A = this chain, B = another copy of it.
């Protein structure tokens, strides 16, 4: 917010020709690599879809977890914009694994069948789990072996970095990721995401795609200034560490309660748990959360950069009362 106020008080070039954008891009290069190309867009769906469009022709397919955000939560934006087919790989923990991915790379060279071209993974995943560096490298090997690209939806990448205790570059550019959606909104920004393209060849005409994709912000400094703030003084890390810690605290509070089953390893800022059916509606009056799987009454509880300890405590207390 302070960053925005500052950006507001200066006259600057439009469409990214400003100093905030220059500085924010420089910071990204420091975190990732000298040759990283950075494109700011408005939201996570756009970051994913435009990134994927730079990796594909219209007759390709994209392999991802069957639960991936791009597969179930972005309407048909990926299909509309890329014309590719999304192939869902089954998952139990939100991650996809080399053997399962490879079994879906089918009929290469057969003109009747969509041609696999991208593996897309979410870090952290939609289940709040986090790929290890080795897991990502293994998927990268599969991609290289079959001449595919590796794409990462990093709308919660800061939570993953904190969880892994690794630098961003260790599990992205250095692990074989080609294009990354770097999340801002879910880590405290008002709006804005970054698309990082690690191979400059893929970036050459990307500015045309962004404009065509209706994602070029005229007053780009207002996105850049937020990223500059986020990437400076470890703000991203403090925000993500906090939300991860809150998730851990929530898990710790829930685990002892009889009738509650934690369903996924809590590695990022989300807790997935089976709740007694009868308490869910009552709890939702207290605080908003999604029922993730209504057949088994599994709920999804996400902690944010601004979730407070008292909120967690009050929520756990409420559950104990209801059970």
Residues of chain A touching chain B, judged by Cβ–Cβ distance below 8 Å, are: 1, 4-5, 8, 13, 15, 42-43, 45-46, 49, 57-61, 72-77, 79-81, 83-86, 111-115, 185, 190-191, 205, 207-219, 222, 288
User: Contacts A59-B205, A111-B207, A190-B4: A212 and B43 contacting too (C-beta < 8 A)?
Assistant: no
Least CB distance from A17 to B in Å reads 9
CA distance A86 to B86 in the complex (A): 9
Check if A75 sits within 8 Å of B111, measured CB to CB: yes
CA distance A76 to B80 in the complex (A): 11
CA distance A8 to B4 in the complex (A): 12
Chain B residues near A214: list those with CB within 8 A. 42-43, 45-46, 49, 74, 77, 81, 213-215
How many identical chains are in the complex? 4
Residue among A60, A111, A185 with most chain B CB within 10 A: A111
Check if B113 sits within 8 Å of A75, measured CB to CB: yes
CA distance A151 to B80 in the complex (A): 21
List 30 A-B pairs, Cβ < 8 Å: A4-B190, A13-B288, A42-B42, A42-B43, A42-B191, A42-B215, A42-B217, A43-B215, A43-B216, A46-B214, A57-B205, A57-B208, A58-B76, A59-B209, A73-B112, A75-B112, A75-B113, A75-B208, A76-B83, A76-B85, A79-B83, A80-B212, A111-B207, A111-B210, A111-B211, A112-B216, A115-B208, A185-B218, A191-B219, A213-B214
